[in-house]
Each structure stands twice: as C-alpha cells, then as structure tokens.
Amino acid sequence: MDLGLRGKNVIVTGGSKGIGLACARLFLAEGAKVGITSRAQANLDRAKAALGDVFAFAADLIDADQAARMVEAMEKAVGPADVLVNSAGAARRTPPDDLTSAAWKAAIDAKYFSYINVIDPVVKRMARRGSGVIVNVIGNGGKVATPVHLPGGAANAALMLATAGLGTAYASKGVRVVGVNPGTTDTERVAEGLKADAKLHGISEDEARKRSLQRIPMGRMAAPEEIANTVVYLASGKASYVTGVTISMDGAVSPVVV
C-alpha cells in the first residue's frame, strides 16, 4: 500500500534506538525525508550508519531551549515538518519504596516535558501552514498502573490528555494529533523495567521476563517494527480522520472498551 509519504518531512525524536529507530527506518522506506534526534551523539552516529540518508541532531529535550534549537535545525536541514513522531522520553522504572519527590519530578521531565517541549513549537508551525501530523508514542502505563512505573505512568496519562486536547484544539487548523500506547515491546527500556520488577519481587530477570510474557494473551512481546507500522499509518493520509485519540497496542493485556 502506498501511504503517500514520499517527499514528506519527518522528525523522529528518540530516533536512534528502539521504536523511534524502527519508525525512522519505515518512513525512509516510504520515501520520506527524515531527521532524528537523541541526547547521545554516539547513538545517533550508530543510527545514521544503519539508516543512511538521515539528518541527526543531538539534544536533551528536557531542556526547552535545546528542543527549540533542535526543531529549528531540523526544519532548516530537512524542511518544514509534515510529521513529528515523539518517542524520546523514558522514565526510570523504580520500586515504590525507592521513590522520592525527585524521582517523580525526573519522570515528568523525562517523559512529559521531553514531548511537550517539542510539540509546542512544532504544532504552532504546523497550524500556521495549515497541515501536519503529530504521533506521540506514549505507553499503556498511563492507563494501567504498575508498581514499578508509577511516576512514568503518571507522565503517560498526562500525555494522553495532552494528545486528546491538542487534537481537538488544532483539528480546525489542519493538524492531527494522535497517540500510540505500546505494551511490552522488545526494547532496552522494557529490559530496564524487567530489572526493576525482578528487584521488587525478589526474582531473577529471566523469571520476571517469563511472568511478563505470561500476562500477554498473544504470548509474546511486540517488535518495535510492529509499533512503527501503526505510527507510520497514523501519520499518513490513510488515517486522515483520526485525531485526538490514543490507540493501545498491548497484545490484549488490557481488554477494555474506550
């Protein structure tokens, strides 16, 4: 299926690893022009070597000034953004007894503001141009609380509300804002979460992984490429009437009506 993304300008935050890298690769395969960002230049260098023709810019998106400079650099190098995919933030998994107020703040900075600091300048530019799509890769922790992911889950819940609100606010201006909530996906971030879960329950990491898989009706984790398939579809004109919603992709772990 031709998704009509050839020649579109795409920014992928967190594009050096995991789901973000898978999204960048798929947009390139669709003929889009892609820019990726990450905090670590070394990760960007590895991603650029794997992806080929992408623009890479290092920035810590928790810092609003760095985020703004990144957006400016991306639009100069790649062109005015037709699509923004946010996949950069990750809150550290922490057992409840180890939480502090600083840990809660760090999670909000890492997951919420790393998205908002990019969304804010980009959505306004898109609105002035009268078109654009923002896809936020969030996480089902914002819907279903888990003990080792409380601060990150709270940030996810806030992002889900921001996605719904911005989708509504900018619908009349030609801008769509949608979210994707991955469940357990085979990434480094999930591996970190399994370590925290193992510590909380006094079990091995292998046992934590086994228990995690047992909770998934499909019997396996998602591959990053599977999440990317949905992200790229939502960014395309084939999803032109989808906005202000967040779609769960958790292998039927949470079979709820929304």
Phi/psi of residue 136, nearest 5 degrees? -100, 120
SS3 sequence of 7-65: CCEEEEECCCCHHHHHHHHHHHHCCCEEEEEECCHHHHHHHHHHHCCCEEEECCCCCHH
Specify the pLDDT at position 180: 97
pLDDT for 188: 67
Query: What was the pLDDT predicted at 24?
Result: 98
- What structural domains does the chain harbor? 9-246 (3.40.50.720)
Mean pLDDT by 10 residues, the chain (258 residues): 93 96 97 97 96 96 98 97 93 84 94 97 98 96 81 94 98 98 76 67 76 78 93 98 95 74
Report field, pTM of the whole predicted structure over 0.75: yes
Give the integer Cα–Cα distance in Å for 252 and 229. 18
Report which residue type is found at 76. K
Q: What is the pLDDT of residue 130?
A: 98
